[in-house]
Structure formats: structure tokens, C-alpha cells
Structure 1
Amino acid sequence: MTGHHAGTPVNGATRLYAVLGDPIAQVKAPALMNPLFARLGLDAVLVPVHARPAHLDAVVRGLRQVDNLDGMFVTVPHKVAVRRLADRCGPAVDVVGSANVLRREPDGCWLAENFDGSGFVTGLLTAGHEPKGAHVALFGTGGAGSAIAAALLDAGVDRLSAYDTDTAKLHALVARLDAHWPDRVRALTAPHPQGADIAVNATPLGLRPDDPLPFSPDSLPPGGVVADIVMEPRETPLLREAATLGHPVHHGIHMLEGQLDAYRTFFGLL
């Protein structure tokens, strides 16, 4: 079969995938997945779908009825909400309470899984940032943040300090994580990453040019890594500030790149 690179038309046999988000212009998944389909010789295409929160249920239920749609990718702000629209959930979803991908099963049901966390850790390791034994400060405990928290603990971080302006969501995540990784997680009462070896922005702050910084990197020790999961712009205000202060920075695209092998296995793109 033919992949969908420049000059290759979509046709009646093309398999479809959708990525759902609000906003949607910043998503990078099509730019990575469509070349992957082409390299693998698959007649498939991933398209962005702008789904506002009020319309998410209707959009997902409608897409589920499209017989040549094999999967959905999920980004901000739908990762928690989409979990309840799946028929079955994988183990990571049960731990973190959010999903970033849905797959149509042979019986027609939809399976939800979350690779944000494993992708983030893979990206860190590929860039030479070792999480094992580190103290990590995480800002944002939504869909992506909760997945990243669990994966970092699984990767052996010594201590995870988390902050969110939604204190109920924050403390619910800390309680869930503490059940699996006792005495390694604590809630921060203010957005300050003092003493952290790695500080992670897992909020959407940075998508828009007038967003405030999710935290100030000036309280990090020398050499403290500042990571951002926002992919567009690549150089977020947070990363620019951190680089000005001399901190190593880690870009959002690494998390997505770290998920490619997991996506190939999950969707059977072999």
C-alpha cells in the first residue's frame, strides 16, 4: 500500500485516524504520524479535529460510527474527559485517570490507553536527562501531568513534588500515586520548584503569547533541567527564561517523539 506523503492522494481504501483537541492548530501528531505511515507503506492518514469541550461527547460518539476510522489521539483539554467515552481502559489509564489514545478493537469496542508518561520519560532519557534518583517538581496534574507523574515514579524518581491551582485535583492525584508509590509524592502549596533536579510544565500555559509562566525557574539549583510539554511554540516563554538563566531545557516535541514506538505497537503498525 502507499503512504500519504506529498503527491499521494487519499482514496476510498484509506484508513483514518483523528487527533482531537481545543485548540488544535498546535498539534504535532500529524507531522510525525503521517510520515510514519508513509515509511511503513500504510494507506492511512491522521487528521486534526477541533472539538470543543461542550461538543466532545458528540464528536467522539460520531467518530466511533465511522467504519474506516481505526483510532483517535487526544490532546488538551480532553484527556481526562475522554476516558469515560471508552469501552475499556488499559492499565496506565486506570492509574492516572486519563487517556491520550483510543483504538478500535476487533469486537468494535474502543480501548483507551495513555502513553504521555512513558513518552515523556523516553524523551528525557534520549536527551540524556536521567530521572532515576532525581527530585522532580511537576506543575499541572491534568491528563498529561498525571500520566507523566506516574511514569516518572515508575522510572525511579526519588521524590515528586506536584502543584496545581486546582487543589482538589492535585490532592486526588497525590492520593492515587501514594497508593502505588508510598511516601514519594507530596503536594506543593505554591508554584515554586526549589531544589528540584528537573522541573516540568505539564500545564497548557505557554500555548498563548500572553500566558503567565507556570513557575519561575530562578529558584532552581545550577544545572536544574526545565522541561515543557507545550509543543507550539517550540521555545515557550518558560524555556526562554530558563535558558537565559543558564538551565538546560527540554522541549515538548520530545514527549511525542518518545511515543512513536508505543503507538506503532498499540495500533499494530508493524
Structure 2
Amino acid sequence: MNITGTTRVWGILADPIHHVKTPQALNPMMAARGVDGVMVPMHVGAGELAAVVSAVRHVRNLGGFIVTVPHKTAIVALCDEASETARRVGAANCVRREQDGRLVADMLDGKGFVAGLKREGIDPKGMGVLLAGAGGAANAIAFALAEAGVKRLAIANRTKAKSDDLAARLSKAFPALPVTTEPGGVGGYDLVVNATSLGLREGDPLPVDATGLTSGQTVAEVIMQPAETALMAAARARGCRVHPGKPMLECQLDLMADFLGMRA
């Protein structure tokens, strides 16, 4: 990689930052496309997000940035424009900077998650799904799973007001889909999805009670580092099929690059 005065810059905003994998994927992709650009990690806490976003509007060689935990929900209100998907789910993971400094947001996590499942031979159509989480990624995944034709969807979240809000918006958009925020145990679901950040740090509690998992169920993660979370290990020990977080990223890389303007 040869960085010069003409190199365009993209960032990824997160807190913590050590686990991010997107630069390792998009930098080689830019090189292959002949793009004079680089993506760098940007460690930004929740309290500093608004100030950072305001400042980067004035960075003329900045093409945009990826947004991950914990900023996916907060970023939408800080942008000038948002895609229909980002508005509907109330979260975004990609922000493009236009030449005049305007910021445009989109959310690709849901498309990437469902595409990642299907790539590995897991079709969520007709499945009963338990979704842990009601944050930005969880919102995107919930809507994408509904669009993919799941049979029913249960949402488990520590802050019930957030899961109730997500359930209400899902029910409005998909009135025929049974949605509950009282999932009970993990048994009886074909697919269990962790869309929280629990598992990112050593010692985190499990996002769901894994003792009720049985063989025949699939347990899916959005976390990419560690490659095998404590939930995945517990599910594997109980005979479940496990689906890691990396396919969600891999299946949206081209979408990210195109949206962010990573072209020669």
C-alpha cells in the first residue's frame, strides 16, 4: 500500500476498536480495484461521536466511514440523508461523504446477514427465530429476516422498551408476521441469533440461556472477533449448528465499497 498526498481516506468508527475486520477486507479490495485509498480504524466513544462526525464533514479527502458498535443507531440523526432501509430500521452502518460535506447513511447489515446465512445453506424462510438484541444491527437483521419470510420472530433484549419498539415497527411493516418480546426459553426456535455485543469481551455473560439449546437448532452470531464466542462454544457442545459472524461482513463488502464510492 502506497499512501501519498492524493490518497482518499475512509474510516471505521467503533468502541472498542480492536475487533474490527472491515479494513482488512476492504483495503485489499480497493487495491484490486485500482483505488488510491485506505481504510483506517477510528476509536470513537459514544460521547465523542457527534463532535467527530461534525469534524469529518470538513475533511476533503474523506470518502466516508463504516459505523459499528455502539454507534449504529445514533449515527442516523447526525447525517443529512438516510436510505429507506436506514430510516425504517433506525440505524446505519455506512456513511458516505459527498463533495459538499453532506453525509448520507445506509444500513447493509440485514442484507449481509441473510445473504451470509444463505451462502452457508441456511434459508431462514419458514423458520421460527429468536433474536437477542434490539440495537442497530438487531433492527436491521429483524427487518431482513421478516423480508426473507421467517415464520415467527421473538425478540429478547435487556431493555424491554427497545424490544417493544422494534416489535411494534415490525408488526406495522409485516402485519402477518407473529412477533413477540416474551420469547420464553431458547427451545422451540429453529434459529437463535445473537445480535448484541455480548461475547465481544472476555467474561461477558451469554446473551441467551444456552442450557435449553438442542441439536437441530442453528445458533448464529454477528460478532467476528473472537471467531468462536462463548455462545457458539456452548451451542456446539449441545449439538447445534453454529454460524459465525464473519459471513455477514463478507456478504456486504461489495455493497459497502460501491456505496462508499471506492472506485478508481
* TM-score, structure 1 as length reference: 0.94
| Correspondence 1:171 to 2:137 | no
Q: Match of 2:219?
A: 226
Shift of 1:185: 4.1
Question: Which has the higher mean CA deviation after the structures are superposed, 79-88 or 220-229?
Answer: 220-229
Is the counterpart of residue 18 in structure 1 residue 19 in structure 2? no
In the TM superposition, what is the alpha-carbon distance from 1:263 to its structure 2 partner? Answer: 1.3
Residue equivalent to 1:29: 22
Q: Which residue of 2 aligns with 1:257?
A: 250
Number of residue pairs aligned between Structure 1 and Structure 2: 263
Match for 2:199: what amino acid? G
State the match for 2:229 in structure 1. 236
- SS for the counterpart of 2:223 is coil
Change (3 A) 1:191 1:166: farther
Distance 1:43 1:254 in 2: 26
Aligned twin of 2:75: 82
- In structure 1, runs of 5+ residues without a counterpart are 1-7
Is 1:210 aligned with 2:203? yes
Q: 1:217, 1:226 within 8 Å by CA — same for their partners in 2?
A: no
CA change 1:183–1:194 in 2 (3 A) is: farther
Q: 1:188 deviation in Å?
A: 3.1
| Contact kept? 2:214, 2:239, Cα under 8 Å | no
Q: Which residue of 2 is the match for residue 142 of structure 1?
A: 135
Map residues 40-51 of structure 1 onto 2, 5 A cutoff. Answer: 40-51=33-44
Aligned equivalents of 2:72 and 2:7: distance in 1?
A: 26
- Work out whether residues 95 and 260 of structure 2, in 8 Å CA contact, stay in contact via their aligned partners in 1: no
Matched residue SS, 1:73: strand
Determine the C-alpha separation between the residues in 2 that align with 1:159 and 1:98. Answer: 23
What whole-Å deviation, never above 9, does each CA across 1:113-133 have from its counterpart, x for those lacking one? 000100000100001111111
Aligned to 1:39: 32
What are the residue-to-residue correspondences of 1:123-142 with 2, within 5 Å?
123-142=116-135
* Aligned-partner residue type, residue 52 of structure 1: G
Cα deviation digits, residues 83-133 of structure 1 (max 9, x gap) = 111000101111100010101235532111000100000100001111111
Q: Please, what TM-score do these two structures have when normalized by structure 2?
A: 0.96
Name the SS of the counterpart of 1:36 in structure 2: helix
Deviating above 6 A after TM superposition, structure 1's stretches of 4 or more consecutive aligned residues are: none
Partners of 2:246 and 2:58 in 1: CA distance: 31
Structure 2 runs not aligned, ≥5 long? none
CA RMSD of aligned residues (A): 1.4
Is 1:52 matched with 2:45?
A: yes
The one of 128, 140, 161 equivalent to 2:154 is: 161
Q: 2:65 aligns with which of 69, 72, 82?
A: 72
- The aligned counterpart of 1:181 is 174
Q: What's the CA shift for 1:50?
A: 0.4
SS in 2 for 1:77: coil
| Whole-Å separation in 2 of the counterparts to 1:97 and 1:192 | 28
Spell out the pairing of 1:193-208 with structure 2 (5 A cutoff).
193-208=186-201
2-structure distance, mates of 1:241, 1:70: 41
Q: C-alpha distance in 1, partners of 2:19/2:178?
A: 31
Residue 209 of structure 1 deviates from its aligned partner by: 1.0
Alpha-carbon distance in 2 for matches of 1:193, 1:141: 17
- Which has the higher mean CA deviation after the structures are superposed, 69-78 or 188-197? 188-197
**Paired residues of 1:162 and 1:185 also in contact (CA < 8 A):** no
Separation in structure 2 between the aligned mates of residue 210 and residue 249 of structure 1, nearest angstrom:
20
